[in-house]
Chain A
Amino acid sequence: MTVFEKPHAMTDVPMHYCPGCTHGIVHRLVAEVIDELGIEGRTIGIAPVGCAVMAYDYFNCDMIEAAHGRAPAVATGVKRADPENHVVFTYQGDGDLASIGTAETVHAAARNENITVIFINNAIYGMTGGQMAPTSLPGQVTQTSPYGRDPKLCGYPVKICEMLSTLDGAEYLERVAVNNVANIRKAKKAIKKAFQNQLDGKGFSLVEVLSSCPTNWGMTPQKALQWIDEKMIPYYPLGVYKDRSAAKEEA
């Protein structure tokens, strides 16, 4: 009989995330993958600035807290300090990765830096209390777009997977969601592949995870999960945007 338990790679610290937030799910998926691949002892995680800032307390592997947006650069340093042994992942939100850290994201991908990037896209700044994110949808009401995001005023959302897929350097880009069981299973598969790619020396692998933020979206957790289906997925279609090795095998 299997008893439900925490993955070893996860600490027994109570998380600070709001009820209904999907960060906990994604943390768990990452930790399960670390367990399954048996890499906890050589994994170093990089936490962002944003809601996941205290991720360093939730993973049992060595952890580093980076400046806002700089996690891919920090990860580059850690990886290159010992490329044979270090397994390095960043865990970043949309403000961190797609706004202040755009340059670091793009260039880590362009270099095909052999790291794994977990990108939480919940279309809002959570930690600071619900401001417009680079990925907020057109019309989306936030604290800093109180009349709805007006593309004429503040432009259009940044589609990271689509954008990075134009780079020759990036190895693997997939967008997943964690709003239902089937999608969570797919998300875990993608995360595992993103780590496996690093172990195989294939290079930059990013998994964009469409996530919910019931608190700052002003919705119940269930409604928030529905909103992912109804609003986010149509704008941010799920799927593999790039898989260089698979493309090579097919060719």
Chain B
Amino acid sequence: MADKVLMKGNEALAEAAIKAGCRHYFGYPITPQTEVAAYMAKRMPKIGGTFLQAESEIAAINMVYGVAAAGKRVMTSSSSPGISLKGEGISYLAGSDLPALIVNVQRGGPGLGGIQPSQSDYFQATRGGGHGDYHMIVLAPASVQEMAELTVLGFELADTYRMPAMVLADGTMGQMMEPVSLDFAVSPAPEKPWATTGTKMAREHNIVNSLFLTPEELEQLNFTRYERYQAIEANETRYEEYMTEDADIILAAFGIAARVSRTAVNEARKQGIKVGLIRPITLWPFPYAPFAKAAEHAKAFISVELNMGQMIEDVRLAISCKAPVTLCNRAGGMIPSPGQVLEAIQKADGGVSK
């Protein structure tokens, strides 16, 4: 434990990005992620990096696009309304096959919404957010340690698959302090022969571009990109199971909702209810397999979310409607209590016993 320090999630994430070799950060202030920018503003000048407060989230994501095109690890962070503004740039990153890390420390919406924790950008993150056929790798931390580790993983996967990755956190993950160890391995960025770093008069010019006016060509590019996505679905799906083996009831929850759910599972187990938790760590690709497997014995599923029910659609898809799926939720910046989740479990258990 000696190497552990207490850090806010936002700060642990920022330091982990630096550990991952990110030396370029572009952002714009918005609660509750501003600590990321503040941390970068302090650290980057000391290590020869670039921190730049952009004139807007739109400018920030396009600065990210520029550094990514030049082949370096780069990131931006924001919170929900700001991520909407970045949607255009994210689509261009995906369309130009550029790696970059985008952090969304979610707050309640829609519109200006509020500043308290939320998970209501699940659809936006997992279905794209910007226009066109594309995906981002979406990572959902449930602890300060994961805020750090999934940030590193985000950079690595983005580089490996040449695509944007997102850390989808929420206000509690950003603001919470927990012991964290930053003593972990980082794979260096791979060679990027496609990057626009100047031809040095030694090769053909590289072009970073998402415009393809010939539909046949654009279709083929989409096909190729989706083959890559299939490889990611096969190789990079991550999740955690907790007490699922004998479970009659399965909770589905990510991020802070998974923390609350875990407490509720412990309470319910004390009451003799067989309940378990599947916590997706990658939201895209979504871990369909463990849910399908659980559906072989589980009789009810509960999706615990800080929104009006978004991930629940993936849970239903995953189990092919073999069992009822109910929603246990709060919205607008409210967080379900372990008691609320326990009640949902008890209610489901009543149904199961009958």
Residues of A near any B CB (own CB < 8 A): 11, 40-44, 46, 53-54, 56-57, 59-67, 70, 73-82, 85-87, 103-104, 106-107
Q: Is the CB of B207 within 8 A of A81?
A: no
Of all chain B residues, the one with the shortest Cβ separation from A44 is: B196
A-B contact pairs, 13 of them (CB 8 A): A41-B198, A41-B200, A57-B207, A61-B199, A63-B208, A64-B208, A73-B59, A76-B52, A76-B66, A77-B65, A80-B24, A81-B24, A81-B67
Within the complex, the shortest CB–CB distance from A6 to chain B, in Å, comes to 15
- B284 on the interface (CB 8 Å rule)? no
Within the complex, the shortest CB–CB distance from A44 to chain B, in Å, comes to 5
Within the complex, the shortest CB–CB distance from A207 to chain B, in Å, comes to 21
Residues of B near any A CB (own CB < 8 A): 24, 26, 50, 52, 54-56, 58-60, 62-72, 74, 88-89, 92, 96, 196-202, 205-211
Residues of A contacting B72 with CB < 8 Å?
81
From A65, A103, A104, A106, contact of B208 by CB (8 A): A65
- Given A62-B197, A62-B198, A73-B63: A80 and B50 within 8 A (CB)? yes
Residues of A contacting B74 with CB < 8 Å?
77, 81
Residues of A contacting B196 with CB < 8 Å?
44, 62-64, 78
Instruction: Tell me, in angstroms, the Cα distance from A106 to B59 when the chains sit together.
Output: 11
Q: Is the CB of A103 within 8 A of B66?
A: no
Within the complex, the shortest CB–CB distance from B203 to chain A, in Å, comes to 9
Q: Is the CB of B62 within 8 A of A82?
A: no
From A60, A64, A80, contact of B199 by CB (8 A): A60
Q: Is the CB of A77 within 8 A of B62?
A: yes
Q: Is the CB of B64 within 8 A of A77?
A: yes
Of all chain B residues, the one with the shortest Cβ separation from A79 is: B66
Q: Is the CB of B207 within 8 A of A56?
A: yes
Instruction: Tell me, in angstroms, the Cα distance from A61 to B197 when the chains sit together.
Output: 10
Instruction: Tell me, in angstroms, the Cα distance from A204 to B307 when the chains sit together.
Output: 45
From A41, A70, A74, contact of B69 by CB (8 A): A74
Residues of A contacting B64 with CB < 8 Å?
77
Of all chain B residues, the one with the shortest Cβ separation from A110 is: B55
Of all chain B residues, the one with the shortest Cβ separation from A85 is: B198
Residues of B contacting A59 with CB < 8 Å?
205
